[in-house]
Chain A
Amino acid sequence: MKCHLGIDLGSTTTKAVVLDEAGQVLGRGITNSRSNYDVACEVAKTEALLDARFHLFQDTLAGVPDVTAHAQDFLSCLRNVFRYEQHVYLLRALEENCRAQAELRDDARSYLPALDRIFAGLRERAADLFAPGEKRRSDFFRDVAGSDYMAFAEKVAEELDLSFDRLLGLFDKSIIAVESHVPSSSLQETIERALSATLTEFPVTRRLKERLESAVLESIDISLVEVATVGTGYGRARLPFPRECIRSEILCHGLGAHATFPGTRTVLDIGGQDTKAIQIDAHGIVTSFQMNDRCAAGCGRYLGYIADEMNLGLHELGPLAMCGKKPVRINSTCTVFAGAELRDRLATGQRREDILAGLHRAIMLRAMSLLARSGGIEEEFTFTGGVAKNEAAVTALRQLVEDNYGQRTLNISADSVYTGALGAALFALRMGSGRERLALERATTGGAA
């Protein structure tokens, strides 16, 4: 099956989207690997292809009679078990690396047993983490394993009278190597293992099990052929793609938003490090844009600082802010002062919820300025990026848009973090089909009038 890939090297995460020949999304992948760009791309791509694989399973199963009723449940089980297998696999790699790191020092004798205990605990945790219905704090191995590792390490350090920092250091030194490990070669094996594990537990008849198994195995054999790949990403001195396969992230974002919501004419993207306001025409072509990439005020990173200051998870900020009754007026979203301003206000007795509500509004005010600079919101409007998942941010935005522009349709897609990668993939599709190349040739030789 021919497919087209778009990869978006963001500041904190790398995303990939796979499209089929008709331009339908086959799969999406995301990683927060801090490794070099090449590895991050590989990992994201693999994840996306894996996701595509699962979609293929779904399609295949849809064609098998009797099975359709159970297909959904089965696949989600399979996915979960697969994730578990992956996690266990990565845990093994992590353990190996940690032990290797520990052995570099003389006190290995004390620390190796500590590691034994920690990893035993982590393996037990894994089963719980991936039990059906469990919601994890994050889908990234680094986050999931990291927080648990810290918890176990703390306990073990105390019990065995060892240095907690040293144990943490072992993790820090090992995690990158683990993240860089691209699991493509073991994919087949892992799927098969997950498959058999899932089948064992799945409560259906043996006949049905056989049907499911053969359908999945059949599907695994379908090869996914990459016809074209386009990469995008902000401010990379060097993206790991040939020059003709790179598109600006502004254009990718515009096109991606257009593909998701064809009626949209304005796109607001608030990422980790920058904010973009983009105007597009009816074809998804960018007509103007404005960026704030000089300071973190109004970007996702700002929320990160606040979360750290308040000792909360990033995803907890929104819900808390929604409980604010009297939003506090925050005059500046300068991250340099974020901590001080917060402590100040908490000290004067202002409620956390009210302060957070005020902060969210302040961030969206910055976004509003940027939108105004780029030309305002004439019609339908799409909000993308990590911050778009934040309910309080969205609420503040809706209010501000209404106050300043009147009623506007506001689109938010659950998969909005993939907008850039989707746009890139669409460019790849055009490249693959030769349409774009043709149009560009005409443009430069024939020349516009």
Chain B
Amino acid sequence: MRTAIAREASMDRQKAMIADHFRELARAKEQGRKVVYTFVPGNLTELMLAFDVLPVHPEINALQSGMRKLSGEFIGEAERAGHSEDVCTYVKCDIGMMLKGNIGPTGEKLPEPDLLLLSYTGCFTFMKWFELLREKYRCPVAMLHVPYQADGEITPSMSTYVVQQLERDVIPKLQEVTGKSFDVDRLRELLACSARAEDDLVHVLESAKHRPSPIDAYFGGVYYIGPLFTAFRGTPEAADYYRLLREEVEARLEKGQGPVTPEGILDDERFRLVVEGPPNWTHFREFWKMFYDERAVVVASTYTKVGGVYDTGFRHDPARPLETLAEYCLGCYTNLSLPARVDMIVRYVQEYAADGFVINSIKSCNSFSAGQLVMLRDIEERTRRPGAFIETDLVDPRYFSASNVKNRLESYFQMLSQKQAVQA
């Protein structure tokens, strides 16, 4: 059922990139580099790199802490400091990490921010998060309000609003903090590079339309989106990474091979699924195993679009640097209306020939979760495919019950196979 474990060069490359980044962060202060904290949805990496600042993504720190089993402790710390059990666990994990000395996931101290770039995209909690961090770090905040695409479209007014904020607030603040002036040509360069990487990423994502799929678009997918969604988009490194990744995937595709899992290549795909919702990070491996043990492959996911939707044609466009940044932010997944999200998932189920879909409802993420039950029924009706509904959390280990999740998933898979048996 599974061929021997294959080590992907792209995986190693990506790990090295991230490790390097953390090392740079650890040295940032002594090297006089400026550090800007920001969010993954609506991240303006190209703009930041044009100013030569180092980006830090607290969400990434939180999820890394989750994967390394540190988040439980951090969350406890934050709750002891007065935060409610009801609120976003990413925030609590970050606050807790901060309270305990801001030692990042790699064991190195994270540098304090020179600027908090509050990209207010697709999530209300971001606003509170940076208000909290501002209180602690006493540094400036640049608010970039990205309006919600409530009606499924980007209006000129929305785009203008974002561009104006960039011109009149974000860029001036970056200038002030770095002492550098805005180099629009540098930005264009970076944007052109991003577009190339985005092309390759989309190729990789769309490879899953094949049978069998050479990738897992959720568990594998989170690794693939890493460089593009964080500190590397726009760099030649990232472009190289995506080229390498694409070649690897195409090679597997040619051989008719399935995705790489922690226990080897899965080459007897049985169930094709679309997944909505972020993954659980504290029990990531265990969660993934529940899928590949049943030979279930995720062919498309919405989480891999939180840092940007590229598979509907959008590319960063160097010809319109600020407008393209605005368009990019406005198009991030969690900034889309619920009807638009439903449309996307329905399209994925159809275009990727899925047997069904799974909604992983995250307890502490209102942005994703509020309304998923309605989405579930709507998608089932429109695709006539069954949906599974499981409930976990991002990084609070108390909210992942393996038996609970396994029970629901197993029942779902058995349900799918019963259906297959009847149809046979």
Contact = CB atoms under 8 A, between A and B. Distances in A.
Interface string B386-414: 11010100000000010110111011001
Interface in B364-397: 373, 377, 380, 386-387, 389, 391
Contacts of A88: none
B373, B386, B411, B420, most chain A CB atoms within 10 A: B411
B403 A234 contact: yes
A436 B421 contact: yes
Majority DSSP secondary structure for residues of A touching B: mixed
B399 to A, nearest CB: 9
Contact of B421 (A248, A287, A440): A440
B84 interface: no
Contacts of B289: none
Nearest to A278: B411
Contact of B403 (A237, A283, A287): A237
Interface string B284-303: 00000000000000000000
Given A247-B414, A251-B411, A286-B418, A446 B391 contact: no
Nearest to A441: B424
Given A439-B424, A442-B424, A291 B401 contact: no
Interface in A362-410: 373, 375
A279 B285 CA distance: 31
B380 A443 contact: no
A250 B417 CA distance: 14
A420 to B, nearest CB: 12
Given A251-B411, A442-B424, A285 B404 contact: no
Contact of B422 (A249, A283, A288, A446): A283
Contacts of A286: 411, 415, 418
Nearest to B389: A290
B83 interface: no
A312 to B, nearest CB: 31
B173 interface: no
A444 B270 contact: yes
A446 B415 contact: no
Nearest to B418: A285
Contacts of B377: 375
A236 B403 contact: yes
B390 to A, nearest CB: 9
Contact of B380 (A235, A251, A288, A289): A288
Interface residues of A, number: 29
Contacts of B411: 248-251, 286, 289
A111 B176 CA distance: 86
Nearest to A237: B403
Majority DSSP secondary structure for residues of B touching A: helix
A294 interface: yes
Nearest to A235: B403
Interface string A218-239: 0000000000000000111100
Given A234-B403, A235-B403, A373-B373, A287 B415 contact: yes
Contact of A251 (B387, B403, B415): B415
Contact of A285 (B373, B391, B401, B419): B419
B157 interface: no
Q: For this complex, into which size category does the number of interface residues on chain B fall?
A: 20 to 34
Contact of B407 (A249, A287, A290): A249
A33 to B, nearest CB: 20
B423 interface: yes
Contacts, number: 70
A69 interface: no
A347 interface: no
A210 interface: no
A293 interface: yes
B408 A291 contact: yes
A431 B373 CA distance: 35
A283 B404 CA distance: 27
B419 to A, nearest CB: 6
A375 B379 CA distance: 13
Interface string A411-449: 000000000000000000000000010011011101010
Contacts of B380: 288
B404 A293 contact: yes
A378 to B, nearest CB: 13
A440 B417 contact: yes
A283 B419 CA distance: 10
A328 B401 CA distance: 35
Nearest to B211: A447
A247 B418 CA distance: 11
B401 A294 contact: yes
Nearest to B376: A373
A106 B408 CA distance: 52
Contacts of B389: 290, 373
Contacts of B401: 293-294
Contact of A443 (B391, B410, B420): B420
A251 B420 CA distance: 14
Contacts of B406: 235
A373 B407 CA distance: 18
Contacts of B387: 288
B414 A235 contact: no
Q: Which 7 A-B pairs have the closest CB atoms?
A: A235-B403, A248-B411, A250-B411, A439-B421, A443-B420, A442-B424, A443-B424
22 contacts: A234-B403, A234-B407, A235-B404, A235-B407, A236-B403, A247-B414, A248-B407, A248-B411, A249-B407, A250-B407, A250-B411, A250-B414, A251-B411, A285-B415, A287-B415, A288-B380, A291-B408, A293-B407, A294-B391, A436-B421, A442-B424, A444-B270
Interface of B: 270, 373, 377, 380, 386-387, 389, 391, 401, 403-404, 406-408, 410-411, 414-415, 417-424
Given A251-B411, A373-B373, A444-B270, 12 more contacts: A234-B403, A235-B404, A235-B406, A250-B411, A250-B414, A251-B418, A283-B422, A290-B389, A436-B421, A440-B417, A443-B417, A443-B420
